[in-house]
Structure 1
Amino acid sequence: MKHNNKRISKIVDELINYFFSIGGTDISINVQNLEKHHKIFFQSNYKNEQDEKINKLIKYLSYPKQEEIEEYYWELMGDCDVDTELSLIGMMIDEAEVNFVDDKIQITLYRNK
């Protein structure tokens, strides 16, 4: 798929901006380019009063992949100062795992090649 690395970068950028907006101060990211897929591991703290926004994020990440929409809109990710494109992330990935460890959220995203 054309521009695959740029799409991975946009996903990571969107997650970083989102967690900064909900009080994240300790953010870690690991991106692996594996044989069959990209694996993005993301970990962040957040303010406790942001639980509703975290639940919304989890909902968006479970959206089914929609390659047709991704093809047209992926380049717009990260360009909006008013809102996030979290639902687009869900449409760009094949699988998401969300775990809570101590006071942090851990998100693992998989995007097939």
Structure 2
Amino acid sequence: MEEVKKKIVKMGDEVVQYFLERDGKDISLNIKEDSEHYYLQAKSDVYISEYELEEIFSNYKIHRDLEYDFFWELVGENSEEAELELLFMLADDTKISYEDNILEFNIRVDK
């Protein structure tokens, strides 16, 4: 499997784990592909406190950091919550929304 597809698999795994650790309900994960990008959409009915929501928007909505491309294979090896932050550093674009207890992550990864 090519490297970018392996990244998508790890990202999906980490986002689903994030929801499960917070007792998320109706978790969905959708992955689409076009000629230039992969799109990962994950959402769940989950309660997020104001503090945690602020943490998500300030810490997890991070631009791509090319230095992390060298270490992406280590993501998910120790199941710490910080792994989700690393995944967003690997993404080329991330959009996060939370409305009516639905937390949604939309992640784009360029090929």
Q: TM-score, normalised by structure 1?
A: 0.83
Residue 23 of structure 1 is matched in structure 2 by: 23
Given that residues 61 and 95 in structure 2 are in contact (C-alpha distance below 8 angstroms), is that contact kept between their aligned partners in structure 1? no
C-alpha distance 108-82 of structure 1, shift in aligned 2 (>3 A): closer
Deviation per residue, 1:57-110 (Å, 9 max, x gap) = 333332221122222x21121221344312211210111112234321122111
C-alpha distance 21-8 of structure 1, shift in aligned 2 (>3 A): same
Amino acid at match of 1:54: L
The size of the alignment, in residue pairs, is 110
1:3: how far off?
Answer: 0.8
C-alpha distance 41-83 of structure 1, shift in aligned 2 (>3 A): closer
1:40: how far off?
Answer: 0.6
1:52: how far off?
Answer: 2.5
Q: Secondary structure at the match of 1:85?
A: helix
CA distance in 2, matches of 1:82, 1:93: 19
Given that residues 78 and 84 in structure 1 are in contact (C-alpha distance below 8 angstroms), is that contact kept between their aligned partners in structure 2? no
CA distance in 1, matches of 2:64, 2:21: 25
Given that residues 61 and 96 in structure 2 are in contact (C-alpha distance below 8 angstroms), is that contact kept between their aligned partners in structure 1? no
Gaps of 5+ in 1: none
Gaps of 5+ in 2: none
CA distance in 1, matches of 2:87, 2:32: 17
Amino acid at match of 2:24: G
Q: Which runs of 4+ in 1 moved over 3 A?
A: 81-84
Q: TM-score, normalised by structure 2?
A: 0.84
The correspondence of residues 1-113 of structure 1 with structure 2, limited to 5 A, is 3-48=3-48, 50-71=49-70, 73-113=71-111
1:46: how far off?
Answer: 1.4
